């Protein structure tokens, strides 16, 4: 990494409290593994676009993000299925000419299947007055038990 003596980097870090995300869901036998996941999001219904990012799933809570958005939410999971909700919020203006979520705080509800290696989900996002369907694949990168609690 090359550092320029004249560069300035600024960040606003906001602590998250229990009121900022939905209450955690329950995770039973056969539920999704707590850990760090890669996520590949694809738009459905003929819409172009998608994102890749990371998600941390931990005991019913979702934290994650990508180059333009962050995600906060909750899930419940057991017997190879999972469902939940999260809020998608833009932290850096999206570069696309017509970004689907740009400028909106978007609520997303989802359901899908999971196993020890990852999960699939289908979701509906509510962006302004639009309802947008999407699908995502999550791949387990590192189980939480191995992340060094």
Domain ranges, ordered by start, for the chain: 24-146
Identify the CATH number of the domain defined by range 24-146: 2.40.128.380
Among candidate residues 99, 141, 106, the one with its CA nearest the CA of residue 124: 106
Per-residue pLDDT, 1: 45
- Residue scoring higher pLDDT (70 or 33): 33
Contacts of 121 (CB under 8 A, 6+ apart): 82, 110, 111, 112, 135, 136, 138
Per-residue pLDDT, 61: 94
- Residue scoring higher pLDDT (100 or 86): 86
Q: How confident is the model at residue 5 (pLDDT cuts 50, 70, 90)?
A: low
Q: How confident is the model at residue 4 (pLDDT cuts 50, 70, 90)?
A: low
pTM of structure: 0.80
Alpha carbon distance 4, 47 (integer Å): 41
CA dihedral 84, 124, 88, 77 (to 10 degrees): 10
Q: What is the mean pLDDT of residues 138-149?
A: 80
Residue 70 has pLDDT above 90, yes or no: no
Alpha carbon distance 89, 67 (integer Å): 11
For the chain, the average pLDDT equals 83
Among candidate residues 32, 38, 63, 62, the one with its CA nearest the CA of residue 52: 38
Residue whose structure tokens are 């590949």:
40
- Residue scoring higher pLDDT (112 or 99): 112
Per-residue pLDDT, 54: 94
Alpha carbon distance 127, 2 (integer Å): 39
Distances (CA, A) of 130 to 5, 8, 18, 36, 100: 45, 38, 28, 30, 9
Kindly tell me the burial class for residue 70, based on how many C-beta atoms sit within 10 Å of its own C-beta (0-12, 13-18, 19 or more): middle
Q: What is the mean pLDDT of residues 50-78?
A: 90
| Bridge partners of residue 137, in order along the sequence | 40, 120
């Amino acid at each position: 990494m090359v550092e320029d003596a004249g560069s300035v980097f600024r960040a606003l870090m906001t602590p998250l409290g229990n009121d900022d995300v939905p209450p955690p869901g329950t995770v039973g036998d056969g539920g999704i593994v707590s850990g760090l996941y890669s996520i590949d999001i694809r738009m459905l219904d003929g819409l172009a676009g998608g994102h890749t990012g990371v998600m941390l799933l931990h005991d019913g809570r979702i934290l994650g993000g990508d180059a333009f958005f962050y995600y906060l939410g909750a899930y419940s999971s057991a017997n190879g299925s999972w469902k939940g909700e999260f809020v998608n919020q833009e932290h850096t203006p999206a570069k696309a000419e017509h970004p689907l979520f740009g400028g909106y705080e978007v609520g997303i509800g989802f359901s899908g299947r999971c196993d020890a290696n990852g999960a699939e989900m289908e979701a509906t996002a509510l962006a302004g007055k639009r309802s947008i369907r999407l699908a995502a694949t999550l791949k387990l990168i590192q189980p939480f038990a191995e992340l060094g609690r």
